[in-house]
Chains A and B, each alone.
Chain A
Amino acid sequence: MRDRGVSTTLSYVLTLTIATLLVGGLIMAGSSFVEDRREQVIRQELRVVGEHLASNVEQVDRYGRAADTVQTASVAQNFPNDVTGSSYTVELKRGSPPQLFLNSSRPRVRITVNISTTSSICSDNTASGGPIVAEWDTGSSCLEIQNAQ
């Protein structure tokens, strides 16, 4: 009878500890699930943005080759400013084939999209998420991207 006070306290502490462990485990599992899904969605969204932008660059390439003299050719599109809460940048790099690299900041995700063009890319240039315009440089007869004003 004189140990009853100890058993109540011990039982209480054990209950709290087990509850804390269970709840902590549940929260950890939940947040890692959300993180994992977020990264998947960011990857998918960057790929979709990249494919749209690549299609715009290829369209401007067709414009540049469609007439004897082209004064202006551009296609602009309003892309989302961020992907699932993470800001991102788009790099257009020369090469064979030219490529678009889309990088999100947090979490670090990098997507590559190949572009098929006949004309060359002016130089490696970068644009951030948001309205992006694919343009034809009349002087150098090449392609570039930049943020629309």
Chain B
Amino acid sequence: MANLNPSRARSRGQILLIAAFSLAVIFVALALVVNSAIFTENLASRGEVGGSSDALVYQDEITDSVGETIEFANLYNTSDLATSVDDSVSTIGARGGVQQATGGQLVHVEYLGEDFGHRIADNASGGSAFLNESSPTATPDWRVAETVDRTRNVRITLTDTSPLAGTAGTAFTLEANESTSTIWEMRVWDDGSNVVVDVETAGGRTAQCRVPDTTPIDIDVTRGQVNGEPCHALTWTGPDGDQMWWDTGLSPLNDYDIWIKNGDRIEGNYSMIVDGTPDTQNLSSGFASGDDPYETPAIYSARIDYVYMTGEVEYDSEIVVAPGEPA
């Protein structure tokens, strides 16, 4: 038979050709979608931006280190506290900076300044009653400091529980006294088998915690701990948000006085750092190892400039370091 359509031989399969091109485009688009899906899985598996939580972790470490430096200077330095803390902070910053730099982080720590206060303590060897400087007669009720704005690191160590009162009425009392009607107080007494730490806030809320009456007993009033464990009476937050911490209920705008009452109903040692004026009629000046309480200049708090930077993170803050300040 004759070939009736000779010209069509060269144009056969055009539809199949178009279909093949269209399918090829579809496959390329599908490859793009699959690629995006793989990238999404990769993005989802990544953790936080590198170094973002380390900024705060290292800030806490710096705060702790500088806090210990302040405490050391307050205990052992007799002159130029600020310079000694400044030098220590420079050392902390230099060494920490090198260590952080090896991990790709830029850290800068700088001492900005300090607020001075006073350290008040009674370090009698073996403990003593909490009486004022015995000149001419020691009294059990006496004012420790006046016009106090802030207090930190109030620590009491009981070395003998036999002088403790048997009831709250005659118990040793530590007071933060803003006025006759606005007083935060902590009483310590022995109910026969336990030492009771009894707190009453200026708002009238009360709470107690108990520990076995085995000495030594450490009461960290401003940190809210007894023998290293949290004390309910010093840390509890009520359902209305009212707290039991030191000086709760006192106005932050007003100063207060610190009093010891029934100081003859306790035996041990104590220390505190106050941002206020020690009552020099009841305290001697300068370190003393006898049973008379004394006051020395101390740094209440220090301000530190802290900078933490990586390629993605930038954090620059001013930290106030006041170890043992109530929450």
- Give the shortest distance, in Å, between B59 (CB) and chain A (any CB): 6
Q: B101 near A: Cβ within 8 Å?
A: no
Partner of A34, one of B26, B39, B313: B26
Q: How many inter-chain residue pairs (CB < 8 Å) link A and B?
A: 111
**Distance between Cα atoms of A51 and B40 in the complex (Å):** 12
From A8, A27, A83, B36 is in contact (CB under 8 Å) with A83
Interface centre among A8, A42, A70, by most chain B C-beta atoms within 10 angstroms, is A70
Indicate whether B33 reaches chain A with its CB closer than 8 angstroms.
Answer: yes
* Segment at the interface with A among B132-140, B201-209, B314-322: B314-322
* Bound-state Cα–Cα, A62 to B53, Å: 9
Residues B221-259 near A (CB distance < 8 A): none
The answer to whether B317 and A73 touch across the interface, beta carbons within 8 angstroms, is yes
Alpha-carbon separation in the docked complex, A76 to B19 (Å): 47
Contact partners of B75 in chain A: CB under 8 A: none
**Number of residues from A at the complex interface, CB < 8 A:** 43
A3 at the B interface (CB under 8 A): no
Q: Which residue of B lies closest to A70 (CB)?
A: B317
Residue pair B315, A56 in contact (C-beta under 8 Å): no
B52 contacts chain A at the CB level, 8 A cutoff: yes
List which B10-48 residues lie within 8 A (CB) of chain A: 15-16, 18-19, 22-23, 26, 29-30, 32-33, 36-37, 39-40, 43-44, 46, 48
Determine if A80 and B56 form an interchain contact, defined as CB atoms under 8 angstroms apart: no
> What is the CB-to-nearest-CB distance from B310 to chain A, in angstroms, rounded to a whole number?
10
A19 — which chain B residues lie within 8 A by C-beta?
15-16
Inter-chain contact B16/A41, CB cutoff 8 Å: no
Q: Which residues of B contact A33 (CB under 8 A)?
A: 30
List the B residue with the shortest CB-CB distance to A73. Answer: B315
A-B contact pairs, 6 of them (CB 8 A): A20-B15, A49-B43, A63-B56, A74-B313, A75-B49, A75-B312
Q: Which 5 A-B pairs have the closest CB atoms?
A: A67-B317, A23-B19, A84-B36, A69-B318, A72-B316
